[in-house]
Amino acid sequence: MEIIYQKQAEKGKQCQDCQSFVPKDTDSAVGTCFGKDVVAEGGCMFFKKKEVV
């Protein structure tokens, strides 16, 4: 299954809010998700909100 990724996503459903997003140490506006380079404001169909502990 192909991941449908968009560079601009709805607030609250962005990569930066997803538990699979790993920000880069040098720039939190970019990172990776399942090995794919993504931007923090992007999004995809596998979004899963980070759990607040």
Tell me, what's the pLDDT at 25? 96
Q: What pTM was computed for the model?
A: 0.86
In whole angstroms, give the CA distance from residue 26 to residue 22.
12
Structure tokens at 44: 């995809």
Kindly tell me if the per-residue pLDDT of 1 is higher than 80. Answer: no
Confidence bin at 4 (pLDDT 50/70/90): confident
CB 40 within 8 A of CB 29: yes
Closest Cα to residue 5, out of 34, 33, 45? Answer: 45
